């Protein structure tokens, strides 16, 4: 499998006694004068992926309140995941605003993505968000059973790889910005570039 050039390779701990390193979401491929400091972390814990993201973005925009609405126009932190690249090229985008309202879709490209209707999304994802004077934080968990139901059965063991990218954006915020972990070579903002995803290795 083709790997993204270093440094866009992250070793995700599978032992809950290990500390997950912070992943800097600090690449801005398109001209942005405003560049909030954003970090992500990811670990495999038992039967789920545990994700947290934090940013010092301020002021915030949080207007969208309906799940699967255009949360990317708000202050938004995102995680795009191709969980089983040897099995399927499909990836899931998790886009979440400061209220904890998500947009969740699946597909293998930007066009014709399927929006996932998850009535009990907060419970399924153990989703929480917090806003304070230093910015805002997200934490959620993705059950492997949920991912397997989307792309087919797969195992995650030490040495296995996923493909992914983390993003920070805000299309309609006071200071529009487009940040990512693994850089993207496109002339205009576009996060749906799976060939630019970084590599996540399970440790």
Strand segments (E) across 72-172: 76-82, 91-96, 102-107, 114-115, 128-132, 135-143, 161-169
pLDDT at 186: 94
Mean pLDDT on 8-25? 77
Let me know if domain 29-188 sits in CATH 2.60.40.10.
no
Strand 76-82 versus strand 161-169 pairing type: antiparallel
pLDDT at 18: 67
Residue 21, pLDDT above cutoff 90:
no
Residue 2, pLDDT above cutoff 60:
no
Closest CA to 4 of 171, 175, 153, 164: 164
- For residue 149, the 8-state DSSP code is H
Q: Which range scores top for mean pLDDT: 6-10, 88-92, 116-120?
A: 88-92
pLDDT at 9: 74
Q: Which of 1-10, 110-119, 137-146, 188-197 has the lowest mean pLDDT?
A: 1-10
Q: Could you tell me the residue ranges of all domains in the chain? A: 29-188
What's the chain's average pLDDT? 92
pLDDT at 203: 82
**Tens of pLDDT along 81-98?**
999 999 999 999 999 999
Closest CA to 13 of 49, 58, 40, 62: 49
| pLDDT confidence tier of residue 57, bands split at 50, 70 and 90 | very high
Q: Which of 7-16, 40-49, 132-141 has the lowest mean pLDDT?
A: 7-16
* Cis peptide bond upstream of 7, omega within 30: yes
* Residues with Cβ within 8 Å of residue 116, at least 6 apart in sequence: 68, 92, 104, 105, 106, 150
* Cis peptide bond upstream of 98, omega within 30: no
Mean pLDDT on 140-161? 94
pLDDT at 3: 41
**Tens of pLDDT along 63-82?**
999 999 999 999 999 999 99
Cα-Cα-Cα-Cα torsion 97, 169, 146, 120, nearest 10 degrees, comes to 10
């Amino acid at each position: 499998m083709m790997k993204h050039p270093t440094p866009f390779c992250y070793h995700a701990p599978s032992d809950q006694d290990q500390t997950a390193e912070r992943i800097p979401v600090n690449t801005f491929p398109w001209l942005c004068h405003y560049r909030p400091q954003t970090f992500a972390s990811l670990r495999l814990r038992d039967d789920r992926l545990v994700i947290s993201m934090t940013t010092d973005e301020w002021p915030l925009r949080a207007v969208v309140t309906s799940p699967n609405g255009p949360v990317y126009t708000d202050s938004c932190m995102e995680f795009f995941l191709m969980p089983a690249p040897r099995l399927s090229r499909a990836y899931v985008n998790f886009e979440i605003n400061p209220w904890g309202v998500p947009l969740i879709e699946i597909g293998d490209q930007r066009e014709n993505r399927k929006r996932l209707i998850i009535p009990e999304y907060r419970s399924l994802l153990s989703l929480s968000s917090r806003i304070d004077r230093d910015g805002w934080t997200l934490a959620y968990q993705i059950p492997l059973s949920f991912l397997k139901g989307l792309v087919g059965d797969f195992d995650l063991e030490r040495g296995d790889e996923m493909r992914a990218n983390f993003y920070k954006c805000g299309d309609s915020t006071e200071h529009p910005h487009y940040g990512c972990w693994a850089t993207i070579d496109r002339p205009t903002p576009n996060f749906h570039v799976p060939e630019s995803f970084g590599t996540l290795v399970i440790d």
